[in-house]
Structure 1
Amino acid sequence: MQFAPLYPILYPILKRTFPNCLWSGSPQRKAIALTFDDGPHPKYTPQLLQVLDRYNITASFFWLGACVKAAPTVAREVYQQGHWIGLHGYHHRSFPLLKPDALKESLEKTQDAICQACQFEPKHIRDVRPPNGLFTPQTLKLLHQWQYRPVMWSVVPEDWVSPGVEVVVRRVIQQVRNGSLIVLHDGYHGGEDVAQTTNRLIPQLLQQGYKFVTIEELSTF
Structure 2
Amino acid sequence: MISMVRKAKLRTGTALGALMALGAVAGCGQSVPDPHDTAPGPRASHSASPAAPTAPPTLAPGPGGLAPVFANGPRNDGKTVALTFDADMTADQGERAAGGERFDHPELIASLRRLKVPATVFMTGRWAEEYPDQARAIGADPLFEIANHSYSHHAFTGDCYGLPRVAASEMRADVERAYTAFRTAGVKKAMPYFRFPGGCYDDAALREVSAAGVTAVQWDVVSGDAFATDADAVAQQVLDGVRPGSVVVMHCTRSAAPTTERALRRIVPALREQGYRFVKVSELIGAASRKG
Instruction: State the TM-score, normalizing by the size of structure 2.
Output: 0.66
Tell me how far apart the structure 2 counterparts of residues 125 and 57 of structure 1 sit (CA, whole Å): 18
Report 1:35-184 matches (<5 A): 35-39=84-88, 44-82=104-142, 83-96=144-157, 97-120=165-188, 125-184=191-250
Contact 1:38 1:188 in 2 (8 A): no
Secondary structure of 2:70 counterpart: coil
- The sequence identity of aligned pairs, in percent, is 25
| Counterpart position of 1:196 | 262
Residue 160 of structure 1 aligns to a residue whose secondary structure is: coil
Cα distance change on mapping 1:43 and 1:63 into 2, 3 Å: closer
2:80 matches 1:31: yes
Structure 2: 5+ residue stretches without partners: 15-65, 90-100, 158-164, 288-292
**Alpha-carbon distance change, 119 to 144 in structure 1, aligned in 2, over 3 angstroms:** closer
Larger Rg: 2
> Equivalent residue for 2:277?
211
1:190 is displaced (CA, Å) by 3.4
Q: What secondary structure is seen at the aligned counterpart in 2 of 1:159?
A: coil
Q: Does 1:21 align with 2:87?
A: no
Q: Using the alignment, how far apart are the partners of 1:180 and 1:212 within structure 2? A: 10
Asked whether the equivalents of residues 48 and 194 of structure 1 are also in contact (C-alpha less than 8 Å), the reply is: yes
- TM-score normalized by the length of structure 1: 0.86
The letter of the residue matching 1:196 is R
Tell me if the contact between 1:31 and 1:179 (Cα under 8 Å) persists in the aligned partners: yes
Q: CA deviation at 1:198?
A: 1.3
5+ residue gaps, structure 1, are none
The more displaced of 139-148 and 175-184 is 139-148
Q: Report which of the two has the higher share of helix.
A: 1
